[in-house]
Structure 1
Amino acid sequence: METAYLESFLLVVETGSMAEAARRLDITAAAVAQQIHSLEREFHAPLLARAGRTVQPTPAGHRLAHSAPALLRELANAKTQVNEAGAAGELVIGTINTALHSLLPDILSGFVARCPNVKVFLESGTTRQLYQAVQQGRLDAAVCLHPPFALAKTFDWALLREEPLVLLAPRSLAHLEPHELLRSQPLIRYDRQLGGGQMVERYLRAAQIAPRERFELSSLVAIAMMVDKGLGVALVPDTALAWPDGQGVVRLALPMRQAEVRRFGVIWLRASARLPLIHHLVACARAVVAERGGPQAPPR
């Protein structure tokens, strides 16, 4: 069976059109149709049915669309295992948005320099979504936060940074005490559905501060920009993002001892067929974190 035929089939299912799949693959629609017919002969079942101007998978097609991605991943794993040096093939990396907007571009730059023959795919999501995708084998590794529970023994974890909370405030208010700012200024709140936002909520409760809330959002980049515009102050994890320090925003250390920090790192399955590539990725991540400075993880 040609794996390219399976990839074409999945693209037809995704787009609902052989013509559109052909356009993306840069081949003719007739060639795509021939590939689908070959798969139908292979599986002895019709896989697609026309529905108006689109095509949809038949019941057999639905089953194949569900199982084909895992089959393609296993074949790619086999190619990586056969490669003696482990420095070729594909790597599917998950990432949280904070990493995507800060460390990950530099990490990937170092990784590509080490492994120029590796094709990298990226998928963004929350830490919980990425953890599940790694667990199911849909991702090889994820650059994310440590999940809020103990990891199973099937996982490995490389801690990169430990990030306490800091207060982002307009430079004009930098002379004021952080808790005074939290009580007197509007709060641009970090989304309480996220782990970092829950840390913020616990800190405010421990400090017995009831802030005057103005906004609540999940983007740390947007939060910093809003503080820069004088819309309020924000309690956020001290991430590797390039905060606009030196412009209109300052980072202020909090006066109360923090019981927890946000742990940021890389997670993967110990039995992954792509361990050599993942180890290269982790080494590049550690090098970037060391170069950037900030609240790095202590040596283990």
Structure 2
Amino acid sequence: MDSRPPTVNLARLSHFVAVAESGSMTAAAADLHLTQQAVSSSIRRLERELGVSVFTRSGRRVALTPAGRTLRDGSAAVLAAAQDLARSTVATAREPHRPFVVAHTPAITADEVFLAMDAVRAGCPDLPIEVHQAYPADMTDGVASGRFDLGLRRGVVPPTRLAGAVISYDVLHAALAAEHPLADRAVVTIRELSEYPLTVWAPPGASFYTDYLLSVCRRAGTDPRIRVNTVQGTTPATAVVGTDSFAFVTQQPGSAVGGRVRIVAIAGAPQAPVQALWREHTVSEARRVLLEGATPTLPPVRPLDSGHPDQ
């Protein structure tokens, strides 16, 4: 009896995916520009290699078996990883100093990305780093396609097409228009802030980060009114200019936006995670260095004396 573990030939795996998506050997053959006989033979060889049936046949139509569904669910990551490896190999030969391309959502500033790359700059001093801002959907699509090597976003929601890990936490502060009633305070509580609208960049349910910020407020026993910012792509502190609302930001307390905004500390120092995303089954020395230097646990913070408990 052959005790060797089964293996999957990548060409036959791609043929399998084409049949699974079309539900027909004939249609898959047309898409692949192969004969129907060649595709059928490829699937039979795949089944022999695995020792299981991946399709049931009914005339010209086929349906996935339970084993076939397992194979289909894992195929996309394997084929994408193989393509990425081939692309990276060729790129290394043609462009030895290809940059490490990092995308970040508007909720993370370019300065914060620069600081997040400290370990990469130290561990890979000759590696160029290229940074791009992208909206969340564009960022995840770019990482999935290989256009970006790494994506950074606020949140800890499990990615569906990518691998991910929390690499750090940042303390949240409140951004207020300079003329806001609370702008002259050194410290405010979340309950005080919640008497005013909370400005966010997407409505609840459409953004994990919005939902996360609401959970921060609800843990403090409040549920602020929501105002969705009409200006997209600018730094978070700009969202409150000319309004009576507040926004959660990670900028340090002080003046911002040319004096039109004040950043104020929040009692209890709530924190927001930074999540890194990348393509599964890929290898990256820069990413390895980044993850090894990550601090994915909540750092201790000194409670601020506000006089207004918000627990």
The structure where helix makes up a greater share of residues is 1
Q: Which has the larger radius of gyration?
A: 2
What TM-score, normalized to structure 1? 0.50
